[in-house]
Amino acid sequence: MQPNVEIYTWSRCPFCVRAKALLKQKQVEFTEYCIDGDETARAEMAQRAHGGRSLPQIFIDDYHVGGCDDLHDLEARGKLDNLLQGEAAH
């Protein structure tokens, strides 16, 4: 079963582009919320991200991954595939 992957982005954010590239490389479908200048959407994202306001903010199912570096760290530690298959990240 495909995980529900959501990513909040800013259209000109290089970290957002990098995070999406990794997800695409892994052939993961995701929902993108481009929140350019939308402070209401950013506030909603921050609430979901436990106060995180930087972009991107990435969620896999209901697990808050964090940002681009966090996503790439999971990949480097061999934990991203497990998370994408519904296993705990820790």
Cα→Cα distances 54→6, 27, 39, 72, 84, Å:
15, 25, 12, 16, 23
46 in a domain, yes or no?
Answer: yes
Q: Residues in the chain, how many? A: 90
Task: Look at residue 89 and tell me if it is in a domain.
Answer: no
Strand-pair category, 5-9 with 57-60:
antiparallel
Find out whether 67 and 10 touch, Cβ atoms under 8 Å: no
In a domain, 74, yes or no: yes
Residue range(s) defining the domain that contains residue 55: 5-84
- Decide if 70 is inside a domain: yes
In total, how many domains does the chain have? 1
Domain presence at residue 41: yes
Does 11 map to a domain?
Answer: yes
Q: Is residue 12 part of a domain?
A: yes
pLDDT tens-place string over residues 12-61: 999 999 999 999 999 999 999 999 999 999 999 999 999 999 999 999 99
Q: Does residue 56 lie in a domain region?
A: yes
* pLDDT score recorded for residue 1: 72
End-to-end CA distance of the chain: 20
pLDDT at 62 (0 to 100)? 85
